[in-house]
A and B are shown apart, each in its own frame.
Chain A
Amino acid sequence: MAGPETDAQFHFTGIKKYFNSYILTGRMNCVLATYGGIALMILYFKLRSKKTPAMKATLTWTSSVKFRCLEKLMSTHHAILNLYNKL
């Protein structure tokens, strides 16, 4: 029956030398990479914009000068209509 495996019996090359599930350093690096990946995902979802492209286009339009002029025109029109109805 084989005894506990020691790090010395494993010889990896390339990226497997640093990221594997056999030697202590490899396991530690895999764990840290997993935690780093999770942290990056959380950061990405927190920092990304919550507005959709349609909403962005609407907000851009609603904050524009043209929209403001149209809004003022409509409110004036409604005021005139109300006055006419009262008369």
Chain B
Amino acid sequence: MNENLFASFAAPSMMGLPIVVLIVMFPSILFPTPSRLINNRLISIQQWLIQLTSKQMLAIHNQKGRTWALMLMSLILFIGSTNLLGLLPHSFTPTTQLSMNLGMAIPLWAGTVITGLRYKTKASLAHFLPQGTPLPLIPMLVVIETISLFIQPMALAVRLTANITAGHLLIHLIGGATLALINISATTAFITFIILILLTILEFAVALIQAYVFTLLVSLYLHDNT
């Protein structure tokens, strides 16, 4: 049981060859490319959803920030689709791997910071000291703000990893408990099954919310630096 609990988080391989790259690339083939001016229903719904999300997310940005539109939309689509596909039984979820999430978080965060330092050096540096800070507190606050800046990518990655991993583990545990309770007490097993259903619905929501939160935070860091 203990070994099975974490087996789903191990890097998958088929006949000895790692297939994690194929799994990471798989969600992209689920989004058809629009090839006509007026497309079929599926592509139209996809376009409408992307437009809705991008309008809402890019409303706060200026001209410079909107150049990141493609990056942010790709990010939310990738994380959302990967998280949702991970809810299929016996599937591998790349976003449960901290290495993957750090690989997304650190370059995006560094990109926003470098953009800010490059185009708005004075404002970016001044950002480390809140306006109106009393004189004795200045060095301490500068150090605290610097530390909070460097914690941002770690928090981004760990938040996504922890949420998705915890959800998958809970589903595993409660599913296992339901199976174990069937022979002992049918009523308790039924109640546990209802909890499992509710948890699965919650996990669907968490999958989409975590994708939105990740992208929104990257967007906010970009907004601070453009």
Contacts and interface: CB of A to CB of B under 8 A. Distances in A.
Contacts of A25: 122, 126
A27 B126 contact: yes
A28 B126 contact: yes
A59 interface: no
B135 interface: yes
Interface residues of A, number: 14
Contacts of A38: 143
B138 interface: yes
Interface string A23-40: 011011011101101100
Interface string B73-84: 000000000000
Interface of A: 5, 21-22, 24-25, 27-28, 30-32, 34-35, 37-38
Residue with the greatest number of chain B CB neighbours at <10 A, chosen from A28, A35, A38: A28
Interface residues of B, number: 16
A21 B135 contact: yes
Contacts of B131: 5, 21-22, 27
B129 interface: yes
B125 A31 contact: yes
A35 B134 CA distance: 18
A34 B122 contact: no
Contacts of B143: 34, 38
A24 B129 contact: no
A31 B126 contact: yes
A24 B138 contact: no
A32 B138 CA distance: 11
